Structure 1
Amino acid sequence: MRPEGFFLFAAVAVASAPAQAERVRIDAPAGRAADAAIAIARQTGSSIVVADPAIGNRRVRAIRGSMSAADAVKKLARASGARAVAAGPSAWRLLPAPREPRPFVQPRRPRQQERRFAPPVPQAEAPVEIVVVGSKRDAALAEFPGQVSILPGEELELGGVGGTEKIMQRVATVSSTYLGSGRNKLFIRGIADSSFTGPTQATVGQYLGDLRLSYNAPDPDLRLSDLERVEVLEGPQGTLYGAGSLGGIIRLVPNAPELGVTSASAMIGGSLIQHGAGGADGNATVNLPLAGDSAALRFTVDAATHGGYIDKPLLGEQNVNRTEILGGRAMVRIAAGPDWTVDLIGLGQTNHAEDSQYADRGGPPLSRAAQVQEGAEADFVQGQVVVSGSLGPVRFRSTTGATSQHLMERYDATRPNGPARLFVQRNDTEMFANETRLWQPLGERFEWLAGASYTRNRTTLTREIGGEQERASTTGVRNTINEVTFYGEGSVRLLDRLVATAGARYTRSHLGGEGEDVPLAIALAGMEITAKRIETAFLPSASLLAEVTPETSLFVRYQEGFRPGGLAIEGNFVRRFRNDRAATFEFGARHGVPGTGPFELTASLSHTRWRDIQADFIDGSGLPSTANIGDGTVWTASVAGAVEVTPDLRLSGGLTYNDSHVDEPAPLTFTRTTQVPNIARFAGRLGFDYRRPVGRDLDLTAQGWASYIGRSRLGIGPELGESQGDYFDSGIVVRLGGERHGVSLSVTNIADVQGNRFALGTPFAIGREQITPLQPRTVRIGFDTSF
């Protein structure tokens, strides 16, 4: 028989109407999709037709557990990058999936659209297995010239909903300042600027869908609940994402509302911190149809209280750093017509940290000799309107949104042997943005993308210092920016397995600002500095990708990124700092498909030239300030991979090496070569994923990880020369249950390592040996359900 005929009738069994809904025991081993289809068809008494030999040859992971035939087929379709189409009461056909962003793991509930509507005519091109949503043009992972990590949303929720720390546990190239939830700066691939939350724009762009979460504010640490996936694209990503993507981007992709479906899920858990206090967390997600099948609402709510573990003996208090988080997201999808949707999205979160999480290096473990209460309040609100559709083969998407982010931080500013004193800093940000783009996915020869964006952002930084009851205002600053951008990118197949891509971005920024609470004489002297000005940036990019085999590709790319300048505070003065710019050459290789197949591997080597680096330092008054510190060079090498040891066990790992220096310090600022701050030279991670049925309706799932973060430097200049890092961290989570209900047990910081994640708690205690220890060993027990 010809191969086409074999795949066409790969799995045929006697069909019976009850087979579709009845739950049976499924045990389809890892291997080819065609073999898995035969096993499922025999065990369920159904018929499964694989219509494309490319799908049949694709390798999939084992499918095991108690489930209906329909659920098993849908799992097989997801694993093989196909679409399952009902062909009878208990018969299905697996057809090539359309070229649209789709998760590569099964969501909690099957999508109603897949059951109700006939699929499009299969395309002649190869089916897409994993689509990189962050490419903005539906690029298949195999055709994407860059390093990207894709984290399935369901895996991030295993063991309880968390925040950004769950991304850092899984991606070795992502790091943080660890000041506290809602206060941190994030870094990717050795591109780090400073230790404080100041007026500089972040080096990592964070997005929910197509809209950035912030412009020059800290990581809001949104709960990673009810997400389809999280994508981490290593930078720079200047052509597609513009300012603030020097190190890369982190993109959250939420699950969309499901038309015509009513479903709900919930999780609840309790935790206990060794040497500390207990905590609790909960999450609920609901999907409701509106107006029949033409609209749907999906919302999720998160609440958590994390127990403290830092003591303040001088105040007679224990476990002072309790943190409370409350947030949620709601999304309404309206089917506006064939291939057109309108999404209305609203999200918000508030973080309350009763005190800070740093300790004295030389004092008793997990304690701090402070006489005042510190801590922080962080509030984040965002609304979006998204219009998506198709104009024939051309896709359209326009996103408009408004964001409000407020951060209040309290620092211990007590002088040695002096009275108790507080420093309070408020960072208030308001942003309006729109991005509109057209694109056509890569076909036989050509692919293109064209877009425009507008961003208006205003950030006000105010400061007070004094006692607990009475404080005096100190100099602050307001920065404003109106940014208009046009960008485009095109790809062409030079040969069947050779794709060339080129693009460019033009940005025109209107910047302004003024001092806050500045003495009159100083304000008059600085009028010229704070005057409005215009900056422009042109960011070209180019890449070449070669598919050596169907599962292996090599690429080389050139990319640029930048951040606009602004105003900073130094003493009682407000002064200007310039924009900075990074240019990166990268060579990389990729083999296999994440989460499937016996073996996968990615590797890259990059060189970045970073000019006029914006970074923070401690000024003569002991306060953080910002300046251009000079030019630097960053070399980064990374490798990550996974191997299927047995059908039930998969091992993964990653390693990154950074060599970064400021080799041309700015005159009169810093006079010696120094390491770029907050980036460890070495970082690595090992992990495992174990899944096995243990009963008729029960499955055992276990995931674990261990990571090492090497030594790094706190900041720029002698005052910020403290060493940090050089510690191990680990965690494990085990879940026992079925598809609808389960019980989980997780342990983090298994070895109860203290370590030092970040050598700063307050800038006023420089030289007093501060550390930010890891959260001690924490045990959590949770329960999850869905219906």
Structure 2
Amino acid sequence: MMRYHNSIAAAVLGVAIAAPAHADSQVEVNIAAGRLDSAIFVLGEQAGISIGLADPRMGARRVPGIKGRMTSHQALTRLLAGSGTRPQRVDARHWRIVAIPKRNKRAKRKEKRRAYAAAKPLPSPPVIHPEIVVTGQLVHNNIQTDAAGSRLSLSLDDIGPSAEVRGTDALLETLPSLSSTQLGPGRNRLFIRGIADSSFNGPNQAVSGQYLGEARLNYNAPDPDLRLIDLNRIEVYQGPQGTRFGAGTLGGVIKMVPNAVQLNEVSGKASLAFAATQHGDPSADANATFNIPLIDGSMGIRTSIYGGRQGGYIDDRRRGLKDVNRMDTIGGRFMFRADPGAGWTVDVMAAGQEIDGRDGQYADREGDKLDRATPFAQPYRNRFALGQLVVRKQWDEMELITAINVVDQKVSETFDLTLPAFEPFFPEQPGLFRQRGNIRLFTSETRLSRSLDNGGSWFLGTSLVNNRYRIRRSVESEFFNNGIAGIENETNEATAFGEITWPLSNRLMVNVGGRISHVWLDGKAMDLPTFALVALDTGSKRNQTDFLPSFGVQYQVAKGLTGHVRYQEGFRAAGIAVRDDQVERFRNDKVAAIEAGLVFSSGGETGFDAGISVAHTKWDDIQADLIGNDGLPGTLNIGRGRIWTIDGTMNWRPLPGLSIEASAIWSNSRLTEPAETVVVGEPEAEFADELPEGAVFVQSNNLPNVSDFSGRMAIGYTSALSDDLDLSLSAWGRYIGESRLGIGPILDVKQGDFIDTGLSASLDFGRRSIWLEASNVFNATGNRFALGSPFTLPFGDQITPLRPRTIRIGFDAKF
């Protein structure tokens, strides 16, 4: 595989890396006639810009409805026609609406004479041509909004025609800087730009935060793997984001932005897709979205429902079963919006999803790498529910957002615990390990932001978090059924954060921010065995306070070329874990990241956008999970590490409708100062007695689940075959580099080092479309994740293969 590795590395790095959305890109605009203040609020959401009023009294003026694809400037010009106002650009993504000065009669006569003397016809108004583009969203006070490495923004069109019938895997195939474990949808951990800690879901906070709109989805829960249904865009913020979000995660934030409720039209969409998988069962998916105004221009609802079955492709030799890893998904989302005017908006959202996996999706190396031999099924289930209330108020150039969210997630898992036979003394001992996790999360975030006349901005935010995590575990075998030690943790967090962005010149902009958090942790062990040798106290209470600064500089080197430098810190609270039936406490960990980058954008229908960013992350007291003597994962502070990354994307448009894209990330992660209980390599015999009790031996100082290199290349072509028919074609290939499963002798196994490919074609008839997609075109097996059950891992190689070659056909209809 090294031949593929080197060739793709050279190709991707040779064409550069990281392209932002262009500030003057055309976006889909649909605004009803009505008040100006309500119209600009909707336009700001749809175009990803900030719009202020020079005089709040302008908000009551009536404006016409507009609809179509156009730039922000074109949309504002059409919206304000005849209103006595005009748009004034503050910077690339900030606009200000000002009054048109009234002219006296003398000025009017002079203007008339000049027009008559010129004897020229006035230019016709610009024609707005339809165009499919990548849209972005304004991130208030983010000095790297358009800088490489800060924010990656993509629409469902960028992911592919099957985006809506898939979940996180579709994002993983598109963004090399995003990686994941592969235990199965609904129980994976997500990692951004090399910040990866563990292959298991445990009591420690996830290193990557997730949002649906303004709703925070996780604290220490696995990725719920929500379907990408009815989304406006997906944003990935790389690196610590403690001064921009209530979620102060170490690695970054993934934000899914749903399409907003439209208050002036009845509309909807329905999709149906079928798939055939080589060596597997067929799959089917369906979804529908409806938008219904309740009071025209003031109140409406938008709802989505979906469901699907993903056919299995893993066989079980021992049980004689085919395609055991079938998975069913069902879910939906309901949104209500009220717009009473005067800049107020109230949004209510409820969402739910259930993933039911019939068996694990791993295989072994003894068969054809698409089968295994186990005595039991290993099903899992994820039940996710969300409730959200968001209140917004917008004045002139200031905005207040308050969001209250409640999340309930239940994850149940089953693992094979069978011990192999050691004849003639020990027969095989079949067994199952069951784990049930219950996570309840309450969050409240409030942010006040303002855009300044000089192009700068500021915002202040507060966040309150209450997270309850409970996990119960049990063992079932022929000889005994027994509950084993579990954990119950409650975390309360109060945080204040903010940033200010200030231009020092036309080219230079600086940014300073900070975050202060106080965390209360109350943890205890549950269901401890009576014979366990544990400390007298089985719980832990802690209070922790930390301050995290951030600062950055952005400089326009030349037209279309911008550079940036940014420093940011991240913090994760301490806690307790149970390992070998012992209650253990682990310290909080902290990261400090500095990144620098350049981004170039030529803009236009044809042109070239590219950029590159380099980041160095220092990670202290790393919290990682290891497998103990009882076969169970437990959390341990393994020491201090560092991560170097180079990442970004490129987009070249040599001809109208033709685009060539490339993206890549190179990572180098090391455990530089192991903890006293972590020993790299085999210890010398004469010093073995000097090692601390419970020492862990690791073969490599590489951090887990971090690929050394991953890259992706894609080519796409779009053409209008007629007034009512568009054709789109695309092809892509990606390489996932080699990584290791985890820390310790049992987890020190290789994974990754494979190539995946895909093709797609679609015909768009306006309100109807049909598409065809092929994934894993060359039917590669690969090894996405080297773990199926931690208990049987020491007795044989486990792999998680790619889904075999799959052909999917879909139909979409809009109304």
TM-score (structure 2 length as normaliser): 0.81
1:256 maps to 2:284: no
> Which amino acid counterpart does residue 315 of structure 2 have in structure 1?
D
1:444 maps to 2:454: yes
The correspondence for 2:674, drawn from 656, 665, 682, is: 665
1:460 maps to 2:487: no
Paired position in structure 1 for 2:437: 427
The answer on whether the counterparts of 1:670 and 1:717 sit within 8 Å (CA) in structure 2 is no
Q: CA-to-partner distance for each residue in 1:13-55, whole Å, 9 max, x for gaps?
A: xxxxxxxxxxxxxxxxxx9999x9xxxxxxxxxxxxxxxxxxx
Deviation at 1:439, TM superposition (A): 0.8
Q: Per the alignment, do residues 252 and 152 of structure 1 end up closer, same or farther by CA in structure 2, a change over 3 Å counting?
A: same
1:74 maps to 2:74: no
Extract unaligned runs of 5+ from structure 1: 1-30, 37-69, 103-118
Q: CA-to-partner distance for each residue in 1:40-81, whole Å, 9 max, x for gaps?
A: xxxxxxxxxxxxxxxxxxxxxxxxxxxxxx999821336x77
Deviation at 1:147, TM superposition (A): 2.2
The answer on whether the counterparts of 1:545 and 1:556 sit within 8 Å (CA) in structure 2 is yes
Q: CA-to-partner distance for each residue in 1:71-130, whole Å, 9 max, x for gaps?
A: 99821336x7743626899xxx9966899999xxxxxxxxxxxxxxxx944899xxxx99
Q: Per the alignment, do residues 507 and 593 of structure 1 end up closer, same or farther by CA in structure 2, a change over 3 Å counting?
A: farther
1:777 maps to 2:800: no
> Which amino acid counterpart does residue 772 of structure 1 have in structure 2?
T
Q: Partner of 2:655: helix, strand, or coil?
A: coil
Q: Partner of 1:240: helix, strand, or coil?
A: coil
1:525 maps to 2:535: yes
Q: CA-to-partner distance for each residue in 1:470-493, whole Å, 9 max, x for gaps?
A: 732111011110000011111111
Q: Per the alignment, do residues 139 and 391 of structure 1 end up closer, same or farther by CA in structure 2, a change over 3 Å counting?
A: farther
1:609 maps to 2:643: no
The correspondence for 1:639, drawn from 644, 648, 659, is: 648
Percent identity, aligned pairs only, is 38
Paired position in structure 2 for 1:83: 76
The answer on whether the counterparts of 1:145 and 1:556 sit within 8 Å (CA) in structure 2 is no
Q: Partner of 1:719: helix, strand, or coil?
A: coil
1: distance between equivalents of 2:526 and 2:595?
43
1: distance between equivalents of 2:458 and 2:491?
29
Q: Per the alignment, do residues 71 and 441 of structure 1 end up closer, same or farther by CA in structure 2, a change over 3 Å counting?
A: closer
Q: CA-to-partner distance for each residue in 1:159-216, whole Å, 9 max, x for gaps?
A: 3521111111111100111111101111111110011111111111111122210100
1:309 maps to 2:313: yes
> Which amino acid counterpart does residue 320 of structure 2 have in structure 1?
G
1:758 maps to 2:785: yes
Deviation at 1:523, TM superposition (A): 8.5
Deviation at 1:245, TM superposition (A): 1.9
Q: CA-to-partner distance for each residue in 1:581-611, whole Å, 9 max, x for gaps?
A: 0001111111227896511112100111100
Paired position in structure 2 for 1:685: 712
Paired position in structure 1 for 2:751: 724
Paired position in structure 2 for 1:147: 150
Paired position in structure 2 for 1:388: 392
> Which amino acid counterpart does residue 76 of structure 2 have in structure 1?
R
> Which amino acid counterpart does residue 775 of structure 1 have in structure 2?
R
The correspondence for 2:763, drawn from 724, 736, 744, is: 736
1:554 maps to 2:548: no
C-alpha root-mean-square deviation of aligned residues, in Å? 3.0
Q: Per the alignment, do residues 633 and 684 of structure 1 end up closer, same or farther by CA in structure 2, a change over 3 Å counting?
A: same
Deviation at 1:751, TM superposition (A): 0.8
The answer on whether the counterparts of 2:382 and 2:412 sit within 8 Å (CA) in structure 1 is yes
Q: Partner of 2:372: helix, strand, or coil?
A: coil
> Which amino acid counterpart does residue 420 of structure 2 have in structure 1?
P
Q: Partner of 1:222: helix, strand, or coil?
A: coil
Q: Report 1:558-573 matches (<5 A).
A: 558-573=567-582
> Which amino acid counterpart does residue 435 of structure 2 have in structure 1?
Q
Q: Partner of 2:788: helix, strand, or coil?
A: coil
Deviation at 1:678, TM superposition (A): 0.5
1: distance between equivalents of 2:321 and 2:138?
46
Deviation at 1:132, TM superposition (A): 6.2
Deviation at 1:239, TM superposition (A): 1.9
1: distance between equivalents of 2:593 and 2:508?
22
1:579 maps to 2:588: yes
The answer on whether the counterparts of 2:86 and 2:98 sit within 8 Å (CA) in structure 1 is no
Q: CA-to-partner distance for each residue in 1:501-528, whole Å, 9 max, x for gaps?
A: 000000000001111101357597341x
1: distance between equivalents of 2:100 and 2:310?
50
1: distance between equivalents of 2:748 and 2:81?
69
Q: Per the alignment, do residues 533 and 594 of structure 1 end up closer, same or farther by CA in structure 2, a change over 3 Å counting?
A: farther
Q: Per the alignment, do residues 662 and 32 of structure 1 end up closer, same or farther by CA in structure 2, a change over 3 Å counting?
A: closer
1:715 maps to 2:724: no
The answer to which of 545-554 and 402-411 deviates more is 545-554
Q: Per the alignment, do residues 84 and 392 of structure 1 end up closer, same or farther by CA in structure 2, a change over 3 Å counting?
A: closer
The correspondence for 1:648, drawn from 657, 674, 679, is: 657
Deviation at 1:445, TM superposition (A): 5.2
Q: Per the alignment, do residues 284 and 155 of structure 1 end up closer, same or farther by CA in structure 2, a change over 3 Å counting?
A: farther
Extract unaligned runs of 5+ from structure 2: 1-21, 27-63, 102-132, 422-427, 682-699
Paired position in structure 1 for 2:251: 247
2: distance between equivalents of 1:267 and 1:334?
28
1: distance between equivalents of 2:721 and 2:732?
23
Q: Per the alignment, do residues 194 and 246 of structure 1 end up closer, same or farther by CA in structure 2, a change over 3 Å counting?
A: same
> Which amino acid counterpart does residue 437 of structure 1 have in structure 2?
R
> Which amino acid counterpart does residue 641 of structure 2 have in structure 1?
G
Q: Report 1:315-330 matches (<5 A).
A: 315-330=319-334
Q: Report 1:2-21 matches (<5 A).
A: none
2: distance between equivalents of 1:330 and 1:470?
46
The answer on whether the counterparts of 2:716 and 2:731 sit within 8 Å (CA) in structure 1 is yes
The correspondence for 2:597, drawn from 581, 588, 599, is: 588
> Which amino acid counterpart does residue 585 of structure 2 have in structure 1?
R
1:500 maps to 2:494: no
Q: Partner of 1:168: helix, strand, or coil?
A: helix
1: distance between equivalents of 2:602 and 2:409?
38
1: distance between equivalents of 2:137 and 2:81?
33
The answer on whether the counterparts of 1:85 and 1:94 sit within 8 Å (CA) in structure 2 is no
Q: CA-to-partner distance for each residue in 1:333-388, whole Å, 9 max, x for gaps?
A: 10032211000011110000100100002323300110100021001100000001
> Which amino acid counterpart does residue 312 of structure 1 have in structure 2?
D
2: distance between equivalents of 1:689 and 1:709?
21
Q: Partner of 2:68: helix, strand, or coil?
A: helix
